């Protein structure tokens, strides 16, 4: 339910499941549920509680040598740091999580973390690093045919283009994905869409709006190809 966007309905079920794993003495199961409950707490803004839950999950993964489990908890701790305003720690942890995902061979998570890094770089005005991470994230998502990741990547690169004054490119890309509601598996686009749109709006004008209208007719495959076309940029 959580991955489909029904976080409120998922949380009590996670709590019940955690209680069962605790009753069974299943540490791996406890770690998974502590992490999921931490994500739920983060989404409703209970950041200290979220950090406590995810750190408890992380401790179990460290003890059991679970690299994939740690990849997730480190990334989530980075997201909690981001939402808490600790940008430096967010950069560090999310970057670590992307590298860990590459090491354990989970490209969809790596793509998500790279997109999160691109968003952070956009927020601090480092367009070169934002573009590099967004392109890498989108290329991975495209290889996986991950629709949500592709929408997120196109949206990020539209924002980069707008910030660079590339209004034709920005308008085409934004028009192609602006009405998309891309949630699963990580929900990054839902989390960052509003910020991207605020930056995009600064580029609004006749040239942007004409390109945006054309972009609405672009299928996602064509928008991805345009976004990854470095020569066009």
The token pair that represents 137 in the structure block: 């994230």
DSSP code for 26 = -
Q: How far apart are CA 96 and CA 71, in angstroms?
A: 8
Closest CA to 38 of 62, 18, 68: 18
- Look at the block and give the residue holding tokens 């989108």: 138
Domain count, the chain: 2
CA distances from 110 to 6, 50, 113, 138, 141 (A): 24, 22, 5, 11, 9
Domain termination residue (choose one: 105, 140, 157): 105
Residue 114 shares a structural domain with residue 85: no
Average pLDDT of the chain? Answer: 91
Residue 132 shares a structural domain with residue 74: no
Domain termination residue (choose one: 83, 105, 127): 105
- Residue 129's pLDDT band (boundaries 50, 70, 90)? very high
Per-residue model confidence as pLDDT tens digits over 63-97: 999 999 999 999 999 999 999 999 999 999 999 99
Which of 123-132, 164-173, 204-213, 222-231 is predicted with the least confidence, judged by mean pLDDT? 222-231
133-139 long-range contacts (CB < 8 A, ≥24 apart) are 134/160, 135/227, 135/228, 135/230, 136/111, 137/111, 137/112, 138/111, 138/224, 138/227, 138/228, 139/228
Residue 127 shares a structural domain with residue 51: no
Q: How far apart are CA 201 and CA 37, in angstroms?
A: 35
Residue 213 shares a structural domain with residue 170: yes
- The pTM assigned to this predicted structure is 0.91
Residue 99 shares a structural domain with residue 121: no
**Start-to-end CA span in the chain (Å):** 39
Q: Give residue 79's domain range.
A: 1-105
pLDDT value for 188: 77
Domain termination residue (choose one: 105, 138, 168): 105
């Amino acid at each position: 339910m959580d991955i489909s966007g029904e976080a409120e309905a998922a949380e009590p079920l996670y709590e019940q499941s955690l209680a069962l794993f605790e009753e069974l003495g299943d540490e791996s199961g406890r770690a998974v549920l502590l992490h999921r409950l931490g994500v739920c707490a983060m989404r409703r803004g209970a950041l200290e509680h979220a950090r406590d839950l995810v750190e408890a999950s992380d401790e179990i993964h460290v003890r059991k040598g679970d690299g994939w489990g740690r990849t997730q908890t480190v990334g989530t701790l980075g997201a909690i740091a981001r939402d808490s305003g600790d940008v430096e720690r967010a950069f560090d942890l999310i970057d670590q999580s992307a590298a860990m995902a590459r090491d354990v061979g989970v490209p969809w998570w790596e793509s998500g973390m790279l997109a999160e890094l691109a968003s952070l770089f956009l927020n601090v005005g480092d367009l070169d690093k934002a573009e590099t991470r967004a392109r890498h994230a989108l290329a991975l998502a495209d290889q996986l045919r991950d629709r949500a990741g592709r929408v997120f990547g196109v949206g990020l690169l539209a924002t980069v283009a707008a910030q660079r004054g590339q209004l034709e490119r920005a308008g085409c890309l934004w028009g192609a994905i602006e009405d998309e509601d891309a949630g699963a598996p990580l929900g990054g686009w839902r989390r960052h869409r509003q910020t991207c749109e605020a930056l995009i709006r600064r580029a609004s004008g006749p040239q942007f709006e004409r390109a945006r209208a054309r972009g609405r007719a672009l299928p996602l495959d064509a928008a991805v190809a345009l976004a990854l076309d470095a020569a066009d940029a």
